Amino acid sequence: MKVLTFRLGQFAIGALLLTVLFRYALNLCIGAQTLVGTIACSIAYFCLMYFTGWYFGQKEEREYDIYDIGFRYHFMTYVICVAVGFAAHYAGWHTEGIVALAATATFWGIGVLIHFILFIAERKKTIKGYARDEIFQ
């Protein structure tokens, strides 16, 4: 099974751009003290990230016939969001404090670890990434 694919790379670039733009817009909204702007930025970011992951995930599923792509996209999103969050903090953007960033990284990291355990358990039910039901049908 391929771990790093072209579509995952495209998703990573898109996620990186969206996350940097989100952090910058969030910094501006917090600086202007607009609650509506902050909520609107967050909702727009969620929707754009969801559809970016869905779009590239669907394309990858058709092209590479990968059985479970969810974990790889989840892990890539985690790494990008946490890295950009810390970079934004150290760049002086006032999006989150260091304690909030560390707490987010910790709790989300626990979620990623649980997802990884489930991914490994599910992968044991496959043969080289293909569901056994699909092979022996």
Residue 125 pLDDT class (50, 70, 90 cuts): confident
Looking at the domain assignment, is residue 93 inside a domain? yes
Is residue 89 within 8 Å of residue 25, measured between CB atoms? no
Strands 130-131 and 126-127 turn out to be antiparallel
Domain that holds residue 124: 6-135
CB neighbourhood size of 22 (10 A) = 21
Angle at 69 between CA 131 and CA 125, to 5 degrees: 30
State how many domains the chain has.
1
User: pTM for the whole thing?
Assistant: 0.82
Q: Give the model confidence (pLDDT) of 58-112 as tens digits.
A: 888 788 766 666 888 999 999 999 999 999 999 888 778 899 999 999 999 999 9
Looking at the domain assignment, is residue 25 inside a domain? yes
Looking at the domain assignment, is residue 128 inside a domain? yes
Looking at the domain assignment, is residue 1 inside a domain? no
Q: Give the model confidence (pLDDT) of 22-65 as tens digits.
A: 999 988 998 899 999 999 999 999 999 999 999 998 888 788 76
The reported pLDDT for the residue numbered 11 is 94
